[in-house]
C-alpha cells in the first residue's frame, strides 16, 4: 500500500496537478463502465412490468432506504444508524445508476460502479485514491447489503419468532439496522418479494444471490424493527378515537388504519398496522362512525405515531361512547383530518 501511494504521489509530481486531475477523471469514467447489478422484484396486481404510480414511488423510496442504510453501515455499523455515515451514503447514491425495469413482477435494477471509491466526509474529497483512509469502495455497500440479507434470511428460517428476532437484533455488525429492516418492510408491502445481489464482482464469472421474502415474514420483520428502534422510544398505551383512513392494496397482507384520538396532547393521529380481522372491524367502525379503543406499544418516529399489531382493539358501543369525554367535538375535528 505504501508503494502504491508513493507511486501516485510521484505521478502527480511528474505530470502536474492539472494533468493528474484529468487522468483521474479519465480513469474514473472507464471504471464507471464496469458495473455491478442489484435487482429488486415484487409482485404487482397490474399489467406485468408495471405498477401503480404512487405505489411505485413508495417502492423506490424503500429501496433507496435500504441502499442508504447499507452505505451508512459500511462506515459505522449500528442497530439504529441515524445520521452516521450520511455523507458517504449521499456519495454512494449519487454514483448509483437506475437501470431499466424488467418484465414480469415489478422489477427495479441498480448499477453500482465496481471500481469507484467514495469519500466518507467532505474533508476526504481531495485526490481520493482506492483504499485510502477516509474513503470506502462503493462495492463495500453491496457486500454489507449481502451480509445483512444473509443474516435476515437465516433469522427468518427460525421456527421460533422470539429467537429469530433476538438473534437478528444482535447483527448490527453485519448491517442489520432499523433503517434497513423498515426499508425492506416498506418494499414488500405485504407481498412476495426478492432481492438479488452480486457476489465476487471482481471475477469474470461473478455470481448473484437471490433472497426471497414471503408475506408472513413481514410480521417478524415488523417485530424486529420495533426492537432495533429501541424500547426506550416506545410506551405501552391505550388510545381511543375515530377511524379516519384505511389503506390496503389488493393481494397485500399490509393493513393500515389511521385513528384520530380523543387526546388533547401531542398524540392526535396514530397509524395502526393491524390484522385482516381487525381491519374489517375498523372498516365497520368507520362506516358506523363508531369509536375504537386500542391497546398496544406506541412508537414515535419523527412526528409520526404508530402502533404495530395492537394487543387489543375494541369497537365501542353507544354506552361506552357516552363515557368518552367530548366525543362530539372529536367527530367534528376528525372530519377535517386528512
Phi, psi (deg, nearest 5) at residue 181 = -65, -45
Under 8 Å between Cβ of 110 and 84: no
- Cα–Cα separations (whole angstroms), residue 253 to 179, 189, 195, 244, 314: 21, 7, 19, 20, 21
Which residue, among 269, 279, 287, has the nearest Cα to 310 in the 3D structure? Answer: 279
Model confidence over 190-212: pLDDT tens digits?
Answer: 889 999 999 877 655 668 899 99
Q: Give residues with Cβ within 8 angstroms of 172, minimum separation 6.
A: 73, 77, 78, 79
Are 154 and 176 in contact by the 8 Å Cβ rule? The answer is: no
Tracing cell 441502499 back to the chain, one arrives at 67
297 near 307, Cβ under 8 Å?
yes
| Residue 152 contacts residue 170 (beta carbons within 8 Å) | no
Fold classified for 232-334:
OB fold (Dihydrolipoamide Acetyltransferase, E2P) (2.40.50)
pLDDT band at 128; cut points 50, 70, 90: very low
Tens digits of residue pLDDT in 155-166: 999 888 888 998
Answer whether residue 30 shows pLDDT above 80. Answer: no
| CA quadruple 300, 302, 303, 304: dihedral sign | negative
Position with higher pLDDT, 239 vs 16? 239
Task: Give the torsion sign (CA, 298, 68, 146, 75).
Answer: negative
Instruction: Give the span between the Cα atoms of 194 and 209, in whole angstroms.
Output: 10
Q: Please, where in the chain does CATH 2.40.50.140 lie?
A: 232-334
Q: Does residue 29 have a pLDDT over 60?
A: no
What contacts 228, CB < 8 A, 6 or more positions away?
79, 80, 169, 176, 177, 178, 181
* pLDDT at position 131 over 80: no
Q: Are 86 and 116 in contact (CB under 8 A)?
A: no
Amino acid at each position: 500500500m505504501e508503494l502504491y501511494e508513493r507511486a501516485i504521489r510521484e505521478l502527480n509530481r511528474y505530470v502536474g496537478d492539472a494533468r493528474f486531475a484529468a487522468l483521474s477523471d479519465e480513469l474514473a469514467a472507464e471504471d464507471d463502465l464496469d458495473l455491478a447489478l442489484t435487482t429488486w422484484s415484487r409482485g404487482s396486481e397490474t399489467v406485468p412490468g408495471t405498477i401503480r404510480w404512487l405505489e411505485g414511488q413508495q417502492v423506490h423510496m424503500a429501496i433507496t432506504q435500504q441502499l442508504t442504510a447499507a452505505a451508512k453501515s459500511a462506515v459505522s455499523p449500528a442497530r439504529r444508524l441515524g445520521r452516521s455515515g450520511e455523507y458517504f451514503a449521499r456519495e454512494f447514491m449519487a454514483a448509483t445508476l437506475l437501470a431499466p425495469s424488467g418484465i414480469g413482477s415489478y422489477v427495479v435494477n441498480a448499477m453500482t460502479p465496481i471500481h469507484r471509491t467514495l469519500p466518507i466526509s467532505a474533508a476526504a474529497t481531495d485526490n481520493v485514491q482506492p483504499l485510502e483512509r477516509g474513503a470506502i469502495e462503493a462495492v463495500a455497500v453491496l457486500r454489507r447489503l449481502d451480509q445483512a440479507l444473509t443474516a435476515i434470511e437465516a433469522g427468518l428460517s427460525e421456527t421460533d419468532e422470539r429467537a429469530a428476532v433476538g438473534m437478528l437484533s444482535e447483527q448490527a455488525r453485519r448491517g442489520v439496522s432499523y433503517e434497513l429492516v423498515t426499508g425492506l418492510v416498506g418494499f414488500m408491502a405485504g407481498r412476495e418479494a426478492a432481492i438479488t445481489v452480486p457476489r465476487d464482482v471482481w471475477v469474470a464469472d461473478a455470481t448473484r444471490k437471490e433472497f426471497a421474502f414471503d408475506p408472513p415474514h413481514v410480521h417478524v420483520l415488523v417485530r424486529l424493527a420495533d426492537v432495533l428502534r429501541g424500547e426506550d422510544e416506545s410506551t405501552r398505551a391505550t388510545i381511543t378515537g375515530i377511524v379516519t383512513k384505511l389503506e390496503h392494496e389488493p393481494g397485500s397482507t399490509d393493513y393500515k388504519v389511521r385513528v384520530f384520538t380523543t387526546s388533547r396532547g401531542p398524540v392526535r393521529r396514530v397509524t395502526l398496522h393491524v390484522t385482516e380481522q381487525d381491519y374489517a372491524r375498523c372498516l365497520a367502525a368507520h362506516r358506523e362512525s363508531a369509536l375504537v379503543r386500542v391497546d398496544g406499544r406506541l412508537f414515535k418516529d419523527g412526528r409520526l405515531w404508530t402502533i404495530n399489531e395492537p394487543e387489543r382493539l375494541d369497537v365501542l358501543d353507544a354506552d361506552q361512547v357516552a363515557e368518552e369525554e367530548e366525543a362530539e367535538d372529536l367527530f367534528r375535528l376528525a372530519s377535517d383530518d386528512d
